[in-house]
Structure 1
Amino acid sequence: MQALWQKYKSILAYLFWGVVTTIVNLASYQWLSTGLHWNFEVATVIAWFLSVLVAYFTNKVWVFGSHYTTVKAFVVELIQFFFYRGLTLLLDMLIVYIGVSLLGFRSPLGQFIVKIIDNILVVIANYVFSKWLIFKSNEKMMKK
């Protein structure tokens, strides 16, 4: 059992903190758009920014255990994280556009199915970017 835990610890932590990040995104969007009556596009961008910020620190500390020794390493890692999350935001928008506009999944159920498929692909892409490009590449930079 211990061997299985060690093998899948980062994936389980990633999924747990992903749920927390999703809650931050949804709650902040709801509060800004409904509670404060802000424009939904503005609320979406701010909610995305807040959730990516939460994701960065939780992934850094509790998922990938990234440690930096300089301000430069921290800034590079933070910029990379936001850059790759921005790419997956574009992927998110593209998948929804294809599913809803091009393939015609316009019903509420159809859109929900597209969004589930979309989220699965985005979560996988975010994990790959984080594990092999963001936090891994900074280990090399910090050794210099």
Structure 2
Amino acid sequence: MSRTFHQLFHIETFRYLVFGVLTVTVNIASYRILSLWLDTLPANTLAFFIAVFFAYYTNTRFVFRVPFTKKNFLQFMTMRIGTIFLDDGGMLLLLAWGWNDLFAKCVVNAVIIALNYLFSKLFIFRNKKEERK
């Protein structure tokens, strides 16, 4: 029984959300641990990169199920490095407004996860079979 594009899209989206939640968990847990020894911005930045490596592995292997390539790794890293400015900037803004650091981190991560899915799906891990149709 073959699955339609619509069914595959929902399965892939579900997998992305599951691993997205795990990536956010890695990010927040790393931040919490690192913030015991580092200031907010360095802890946030380092936690971000730990989460990015985790996300690349899980997105490639489990979500989009594409081979590891130098090209998709570089595209993924470039796109994610672009979002560090949103992550750090959003954290600084929300902290300046008096928000709790963990709550601010969760809010910022929710926005970034949506953007990352769109960029990953549309530009980095495109299914070559879908492109030919």
The TM-score by the shorter chain falls in which range? 0.7 to 0.9
TM-score, normalised relative to structure 1:
0.68
The Cα of 1:85 is off from its aligned counterpart by: 1.0
Q: Percent identity, please.
A: 31
Q: Please name the residue that 1:44 is paired with.
A: 44
Residue 84 (str. 1) matches residue 75 (str. 2)? no
Give distance in 2, aligned partners of 1:33 and 1:98. 18
Gaps of 5+ in 2: none
CA RMSD of aligned residues (A): 3.2
* 5+ long unaligned stretches in structure 1: 69-73
What secondary structure is seen at the aligned counterpart in 2 of 1:78? helix
Which is richer in helix?
1
The 3 A distance-change label for structure 1 pair 97 and 80 is: same
Q: Which residue of 2 aligns with 1:16?
A: 18
Q: For 2:122, give the aligned amino acid.
A: W
Match of 2:67, SS state, is coil
1:95/1:39 CA distance change after superposition, 3 Å: closer
The Cα shift of 1:6 comes to 3.3
Alpha-carbon spacing, 1:32–1:98, altered in 2? closer, same or farther (3 Å): closer
Scaled by the length of structure 2, the TM-score of the pair is 0.73
Partner Cα distance (2:83, 2:14) in 1 = 21
Looking at structure 2, the residues matched to 47 and 14 of structure 1 have their Cα atoms a distance apart, in angstroms, of 20
Question: Amino acid of the residue matched to residue 17 of structure 2?
Answer: L
The answer as to whether partners of 2:45 and 2:84 remain within 8 angstroms in 1 is no
In structure 2, C-alpha distance between the alignment counterparts of 1:26 and 1:120, rounded to whole Å: 12
Where in structure 1 do 4 or more consecutive aligned residues deviate above 6 Å? 97-101
The count of aligned residue pairs is 125
Partner of 1:64: 64
1-structure distance, mates of 2:26, 2:110: 18
The one-letter amino acid of 1:80's match is: Q
Structure 1 equivalent of residue 112 of structure 2: 122
State the match for 1:71 in structure 2: none
Give the conservation status (yes or no) of the 8 Å contact 2:15–2:62. Answer: yes
Cα 1:25–1:98 change in 2 (3 A) is closer
Whole-angstrom distance in 1 between the partners of 2:40 and 2:80: 20
Q: Which one has the largest radius of gyration? A: 1
